[in-house]
Amino acid sequence: MVTARTHSQRTRTSAAPGQYDVVKTASMPKVPKYATGPLHSFMDYWSECFKLLHSSMQGISVLRSMPNTLKVLKEVDTDQDYPDEQIEDAKKNAEFAEKECASGFPLLHAHTLVGLWGAFESAIEDMCVGILLNEPILLQNSAFAKMRIPLAEFELLEKDERMRLLLSEIQRLPGNFRRQGFGPSEVWLDSFDLTCNIDPETQKSIKEMHHIRNVIVHRGSIVDRRLIRECPWMRFKIGDKVVVKHEHLGRYGSALCEFIVVLVQRLAKKYATEAKDQSKQEEVPDTNSLSPSSEIAEEKPRC
């Protein structure tokens, strides 16, 4: 099983609001909202996910004491009827809760992982779509020039759907389709010159999360050859069952947040450079635009 760092070694999953508020740093150059909006939404979802996870864990834990609670109430509260069926249901729920608590709530953590990864990929895609819609000059990128899309299909789509189609086609280009890493998000960012240089440990955690998610969704949480090949450090064997523990999910969640921080910094650098280049262009006088009336007239000789 994965050797994961604990909360004391990495950022806690129950991070306080604003801890990863990465797009409100005053010292950062202005980044367009169409680029940062999806990242804001992801961070909100990230926070809500862990709140729901912790609340669910606490709620399930409470179920363990319900049979004894109902038994006591039945003895002391004679005015209220407590059917045997209700007590039996409480016992079954308590057994389930005890099992979940003992095993570390694997189903809850697996569902949270799948949701987080989906939100992460959606945020990157929505950001890229927003950039394409507002900066159409990027469509001159060589990656888009290589695409072969039926014109009729393209024309029938709404503008944002066209951009999403282009992004999906980028993944199919030679060299991208079988590219390993952490999925289409990495391909999209490279195509937009937004490659994020993250530390090896964070990159490893994101890649691990990506492949764990695929096994959960497509293999019923049973380890396959691809997971073993892409994440050999996990030391799985084919046929093993993946169990997502709380410390694993905390590590994955922190890695995604750290990635978003680096991405926002990369966006800030990109737009700061573009603004600087634009400013330089505006400072250079366009001598070709001077009208004849503005030119210096030759001094005529006096009579």
* Alpha carbon separation from 176 to 125, 142, 184, 303 (Å, rounded): 16, 14, 9, 78
Averaged pLDDT score across all residues of the chain:
81
pLDDT (0 to 100) of residue 129: 95
Q: 112 near 176, Cβ under 8 Å?
A: no
Outline where the chain has alpha helix (H). Answer: 33-62, 66-76, 84-103, 106-134, 142-145, 151-155, 159-170, 184-191, 200-218, 225-230, 246-283
pLDDT (0 to 100) of residue 299: 45
pLDDT range class, residue 29, cuts 50, 70, 90 = low
Report pLDDT digits (tens) over 78-126: 777 778 888 889 999 999 999 999 999 999 999 999 999 999 999 999 9
pLDDT over threshold 80, residue 143? no
Q: Specify the higher pLDDT residue, 220 or 191.
A: 220
Taken as a whole, the chain contains a residue count of: 303
Report pLDDT digits (tens) over 271-295: 887 777 666 666 555 545 444 443 4
Q: Is the pTM of this model over 0.95?
A: no
